[in-house]
A = this chain, B = another copy of it.
């Protein structure tokens, strides 16, 4: 079995990362053992280490996976003829929140306060999302509200900040609410 084909290799990595996210959502980043992940993924410890250097790297992969999610969607909104305004935009984002991923997302924030690598991921992903909100809201101001492009861009910045904040708060509430429902294991 000379080196797995790239596609297959990527599949395994995803299989592991997804199992990890499920475990993290259930038991938390630190209280999830490699043994838990082997059970959830159906793979062995040795195999996991063949795909990820160590647990820290696996956590980073999970962090990226959980924080990425929405980005692509917002990009499309901005290109739309009638881009959504702040309220509609927020509503769509909130509607798309997945409770399990919200939990891991909040855990990742906590980890970011301590682990520089995770912090970089969070800052990067957050910045990326804010930029897309900014684009979308600028487009809305120009196309729907008929503002001047230059002034719109500036105004959109503070709107984007607010939408971002409200979205993150909602993420937190969803995480807490869903934690109450699924009685830990």
Residues of A whose CB lies within 8 Å of any CB of B are 25-31, 103-104, 106-116, 119, 122-123, 162, 164-166, 168-170, 172, 175-176, 179-180, 183-184
Determine the residue in chain B with the shortest Cβ distance to A32: B114
Q: For the complex formed by this chain, how many copies does it contain in all?
A: 2
Establish whether residues A169 and B164, one from each chain, have CB atoms under 8 Å apart when the complex forms.
yes
In the complex, the answer to whether B169 meets A114 with C-beta atoms within 8 Å is no
Contacts of A172 in B (CB 8 A): 109, 168
Given A119-B176, A119-B180, A164-B169, do A28 and B114 touch, yes or no (CB 8 Å)?
Answer: yes
Question: Residues of B contacting A115 with CB < 8 Å?
Answer: 28, 184
For the complex, what is the distance from the CA of A178 to the CA of B30, rounded to whole Å?
22
A184 CA to B172 CA in the complex, in Å?
A: 25
- Given the complex, which residues of B lie within 8 Å of A180, measured CB to CB? 116, 119, 123
Among candidates B106, B111, B169, residue contacting A169 with C-beta atoms closer than 8 Å: B169
A109 to B28, CA, bound (A): 11
The 9 closest A-B pairs by CB, nearest first: A110-B110, A165-B169, A28-B114, A30-B30, A107-B110, A103-B113, A113-B179, A113-B175, A165-B166
Q: Which of A112, A115, A164, A170 has the most CB of B within 10 A?
A: A112
